[in-house]
């Protein structure tokens, strides 16, 4: 179970990074190569799919870690990041506008990744792993 926390943290950091990179680079890539717009990962639903994986992985990893090391600051940072990611994925640019959607996605992904790095470090310091 303890090794699972590290794996979940690393997976969540990776997925959050993919989400942020996708959000920032896909519009540029579609302009440069319009045929990319036909691929499945160019669709807005890709964000929802990523959040579908990030949300349970992050929740599980942060909950397992916080039960061990009791640093609830880690959970707070992660929850704020997840709320931003979910809001951006579900609200999209239609509801919030493109700038707010991209900002929320990048900030949310950064906060989720930061919370998992914090969780990983706290678990190592408190022998959770």
The 10s digit of each residue's pLDDT in 33-82 is: 666 666 665 566 777 888 888 888 888 888 888 787 888 899 999 999 99
What is the pLDDT, as a whole number, of residue 1?
A: 46
pLDDT exceeds cutoff 60 at 86 = yes
Question: What mean pLDDT is predicted for residues 7-24?
Answer: 75
Residues 9, 65 contacting (CB under 8 angstroms)? yes
């Amino acid at each position: 179970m303890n090794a699972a926390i590290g794996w979940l943290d690393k997976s969540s950091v990776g997925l959050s990074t993919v989400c942020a990179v996708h959000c920032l680079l896909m519009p540029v890539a579609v302009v440069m190569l319009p045929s990319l717009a036909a691929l499945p990962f160019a669709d807005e639903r890709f964000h929802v799919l990523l959040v579908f994986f990030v949300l349970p992985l992050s929740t599980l990893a942060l909950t397992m870690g916080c039960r061990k090391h009791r640093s609830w600051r880690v959970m707070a940072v992660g929850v704020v990041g997840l709320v931003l990611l979910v809001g951006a994925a579900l609200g999209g640019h239609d509801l919030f506008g493109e700038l707010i959607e991209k900002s929320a996605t990048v900030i949310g992904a950064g906060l989720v990744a930061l919370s998992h790095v914090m969780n990983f470090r706290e678990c190592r310091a408190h022998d959770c792993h």
